[in-house]
Amino acid sequence: MKSMALSTSGVSTSNVAAINSNVTPIAIEIAVKVTGAATYNVEYTLDDIFSPTFTQVGATWFNHPTLAAGQTTTKDCQITWPVTGIRINQTAGANTTAAIVLQAGLQ
């Protein structure tokens, strides 16, 4: 099992958690903890995050259907389809979000 930590402070995006898309079955848990007042969403991409030309700004990001725009409390969600990267997008608030991303499966 692979564990990755993501965080934001104030309006910002986290680093990208790299997901191994060769693992089967796809089983990813994302748990987001909010400290204070923060509005966020969880996003994923299908872009090649290891490409030398990859940038977060230039990537295509999709809102997770469960943790889409406007989240303000501690929550979790799962991803069971192939993705290459996951991030937190904090859209409001001066406080913080912290997430643990766990990926399980066989390679």
Domains and CATH numbers, the chain: 2-106 (2.60.120)
What is the torsion angle, in degrees rounded to the nearest 10, for the CA atoms of residue 20, residue 47, residue 3 and residue 23? -20
Q: What is the pLDDT of residue 45?
A: 98
pTM assigned to the model: 0.94
- In angstroms, rounded to a whole number, what is the distance separating the alpha carbons of residues 81 and 25? 9
Q: What is the pLDDT of residue 22?
A: 87
What's the number of CA atoms in the CB half-sphere (13 Å) around residue 81?
6
What's the number of CA atoms in the CB half-sphere (13 Å) around residue 63?
11
Q: Per-residue pLDDT for the chain (107 aa), expressed as one digit of tens each?
A: 679 999 999 999 999 999 998 888 999 999 999 999 999 999 999 999 999 999 999 999 999 999 999 999 999 999 999 999 999 999 999 999 999 999 998 76
For residue 73, what are its two tokens?
Answer: 């409390």
